[in-house]
Amino acid sequence: MKYQNIRVGHFISRPNRFIAKIEIEGAEETVHVKNTGRCAELLVPGAEVYVQDSQQEAEDWLSDNELLQGEMQMAVSSKSTNIGKKRKTRWDLIAVRKGDRLINMDSQIPNKIVKEWLEQEKWNHNLHNQSDRIHGITKIQPEYTYGKSRIDLYVEAQNRKILIEVKGVTLEENGVVRFPDAPSERAVKHVHELKEALKEGYECYVFFVIQMSGVRYFTPNMDTHPEFKEALKEAAEAGVHVVAYDCSVREDEIRIQDPVPVILENPELYELSQVLVPWYQKARRDLPWRHTTDPYRIWVSEIMLQQTRVEAVKRYYARFMEALPNVNALANVEEDKLLKLWEGLGYYNRVRNMQKAARQIMVDYNGTFPKTYEEIQSLTGIGNYTAGAISSFSFGLPYPAVDGNVLRVITRITADDSDIMKQSTRKQIEEKLKKVIPKDCAGDFNQGLIELGAIVCVPNGEPKCEECPAAPFCQARIQGKIQELPVKEKAKARRIEKKTVLILRDEDKIAICKRPAKGLLAGLYELPNIEEHLNKKEITQYCKEIGLMPIHIKKLPAAKHIFSHIEWQMIGYDIRVDELEKTNNKKYLFIHPEEIQKEYPIPSAFEKYMKLI
């Protein structure tokens, strides 16, 4: 849309919302300000502004229509004269220059250019979603009354009834545009009306006209009017379309141009999506499982990395891959060999579940690892995190992978004080991340989040904020809450179990036994042990009761092992026995230590005592 009779000037002051003092061609003029918003960041003394000579425009209009006859000419002249009497100034403020950006300030123009745009059906050329396109428009009615509000535009097109509320946006900071720049109960009311109109079959849009170009994204102004942000978010969730378009702005023209991303909540996560991948690609550690997109290898690494340090996992990963290089090998390996390969990593049910999942893949997918998130998640032992990791790392699918590192990073960046131990918090964070995961680099985004939590936004200490790409917009840092987040409900105290561990020796062989098939450390081998702490006299009596004759008893150092919910507090004895194999009614196995080391999976709970055999 074009303007006529534009003059350049410089802003002096703004006595009230409706007028401004502007220097035009060396004289101070009173100028009508159509935009009654705050605009304090735009209208600063000395700012270059563009104004329209409305009196000249009216005279030009009359001159262009001088062929009008008699009464028509008199009526138009009379109307022009009356308008002129009502106005206190001939000038209208149209645009202002802020740095190298020209911003249109005409609050009456957004409705006009959206209407013009619809008439030309230009909207359809910029929409990726086919369902949002509006073809075959037969009616456009401005100022349509619905409920207790006047909605900016009503559109009919091929049996569709469409309500469009238009909002002009002029508030910009660092490429981010926000609305409103002052509290607007009217704006909240209109959004609520659109939400209600959905129930009567209307399609509804809130159309933000960004009255400038070159912006990064739009977000509701939480600082100025949080109620509008909540109303807009609720309306969007109900089905109201929220769109934003920037404009090509010149001194004498404004045209709708390109779509702008709309971020209705947590804009800091959108900011993160813009900087995280480049950071990760430069800062990531060189880890063996990052040299492949093979879903099997990524799966193995992810299960191993759960509650195990990266450096420790490296050697386990190499050993496991050498022995079981593919799904078929895992599906068919004997359990004792599988558990031996897993020895030292703990949580043995995880590797048992991996074997069950491998067998599922062999049967249900003909040995080929499934390629969709839903199919991957259906495998035994695979939850949201692992499914998201495999889906994104291997296949580039935009699904979140939220582990403890990610929970910590996101709750800090968003200053979220929800308890990260609750499933509801994890679910909310997954939903938020789904909205910002870049579709063209989902794997690097997810790995970047995990890496950020592992090496920068660390737990139990001072995060390395000076190295963090999210530092400029991290809300915990801005609000001084880094040490308070994340919020984590104190875990229940672990149950203490006292045990006496026995190294029973018969010449060069050591006694071991197999644990029950169910329960803690199910099916693994262990050193014989007894509940409670026993003294030497009690140990001697115990050995005799099970048919052993102790020759020599030596007390060993105490040891401790912590499981997720249990703590073993252990004491030990090194015991030489006589004729162990003949009198053994506990059915212990007596194995040479080298054979134990090679063939029998012993949990790390006994590591301190196994070093003594």
Residues recognised as catalytic: 302
| CB of 378 closer than 8 Å to CB of 423 | no
Q: How many CB atoms lie within 10 A of CB 38?
A: 17
Alpha carbon distance 99, 47 (integer Å): 9
CA distance 386 to 479: 33
d(CA 279, CA 444): 10
Cβ 92 vs Cβ 34: under 8 Å? yes
Contact 414, 269 (CB under 8 A): yes
Q: Which of 159, 168, 99 is nearest to 134 (CA)?
A: 159
Specify whether the CB–CB gap between 105 and 42 falls below 8 A. yes
Find out whether 112 and 119 touch, Cβ atoms under 8 Å: no
Q: State phi, psi for 486 to the nearest 5 degrees.
A: -80, 160
Amino acid letter, residue 560: K
- How far is 299 from 322, CA to CA, in rounded Å? 15
Size of the chain, expressed as the number of residues it contains: 613
Nearest to 181 by CA among 190, 189, 194, 172: 172
Q: Which residues contact 93 (CB under 8 A, 6 or more apart)?
A: 20, 22, 31, 32, 33, 34, 35, 49, 50, 51, 105, 106
- Single-letter amino acid code for the residue at 489: E
Residue 397 to residue 176: CA distance in whole angstroms: 28
Residue 96 tokens, joined: 């202002």
Q: Chain centroid to CA 182: how far?
A: 29
SS (H, E, C) 240-263: CEEEEEEEEEECCEEEEEEECCEC
Whose structure tokens read 């040490």?
A: 483
Own/partner contacts of 383-389, CB < 8 Å, gap of 24 or more, are: 384/426, 384/430, 385/302, 386/299, 386/302, 386/303, 388/430, 388/446, 389/298, 389/302, 389/446
CA 171 to each of CA 180, 215, 232: distance values in angstroms, whole numbers, following the listed order: 8, 11, 18
At 371, is the secondary structure helix, strand, or coil? coil
